[in-house]
């Protein structure tokens, strides 16, 4: 299990996730990170904020990464740089959309890195970006801005947060049981949230 239960809610356990991912072959670990990234990509596809060129770079990157994982190829050297160039920073845009686009680009970059090296750490970082995106989304609906245990529990208990953590758990279990080929080629239209 990727997450641990806290007051009956799943939480993101990065150290535990890295440990589990280290037991998988590199492509399986990269595929796990990629499945998290795909949900972010599917989420940002509907954002008006993205230019047609930026959206094209993100979707082309997703397609290239799919091919690299399935065909045991290394990603082209330019791929990471293209994603860095279009990724907004918090200084550029601190909105939910801007942050989610940054998370999507970062998750794809971590997946590229997971294909090449340190697959367990980089795949867990891709998963963390998916978790952080939905965490930020859930936090935006909480009236109180005082960060305390009550605030954290309100975010953690959000249905979208729990759904993402459940999906990460499911993906890791399925990759361990049946491999990743069917999961990647049948990625579906899962999104983290819809604005």
Q: Is the pTM of this model over 0.85?
A: yes
Strand pairing category for 5-6 and 9-10: antiparallel
Give domain 5-185's CATH number out of 1.20.120.1200, 1.10.1040.10, 1.20.1590.10, 3.30.565.10.
Answer: 1.20.1590.10
Two tokens, residue 171: 């993906």
Per-residue pLDDT averaged across 89-105, rounded?
84
Q: Of 52, 44, 21, 17, which is closest to residue 103 (Cα–Cα)?
A: 44
pLDDT band at residue 187 using 50, 70 and 90 as cut-offs: low
Please say whether the beta carbons of 48 and 194 come within 8 A: no
Write the pLDDT tens digit of every residue in 133-151.
Answer: 999 999 988 887 777 888 8
Task: Give the whole-angstrom CA distance, residue 62 versus residue 71.
Answer: 14
Domain spans of the chain, in order of start: 5-185
pLDDT higher than threshold 50 for residue 166: yes
Phi/psi at 14 (nearest 5 deg)? -65, -45
Structure-derived torsion over alpha carbons of residues 129, 131, 136, 139, reported in degrees to the nearest 10: -170
């Amino acid at each position: 299990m990727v997450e641990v239960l806290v007051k009956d809610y799943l939480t993101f356990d990065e150290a535990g996730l890295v440990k589990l991912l280290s037991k998988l072959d590199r492509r399986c670990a990269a595929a796990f990170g990629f499945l998290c990234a795909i949900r972010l990509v599917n989420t940002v596809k509907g954002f008006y904020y993205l230019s047609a060129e930026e959206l094209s770079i993100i979707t082309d990157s997703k397609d290239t990464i799919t091919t690299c994982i399935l065909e045991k190829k290394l990603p082209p050297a330019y791929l990471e740089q293209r994603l860095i160039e279009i990724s907004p920073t918090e200084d550029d845009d601190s909105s939910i959309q801007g942050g989610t686009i940054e998370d999507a680009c970062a998750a794809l970059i971590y997946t590229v890195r997971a294909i090449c090296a340190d697959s367990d750490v980089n795949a867990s970082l891709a998963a963390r970006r998916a978790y952080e995106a939905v965490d930020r989304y859930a936090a935006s609906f909480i009236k109180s801005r005082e960060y305390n245990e009550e605030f954290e529990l309100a975010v953690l208990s959000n249905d979208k947060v729990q759904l993402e953590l459940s999906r990460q758990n499911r993906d890791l279990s399925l990759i361990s049981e049946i491999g990743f080929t069917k999961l990647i080629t049948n990625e579906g239209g899962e999104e983290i949230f819809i604005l």
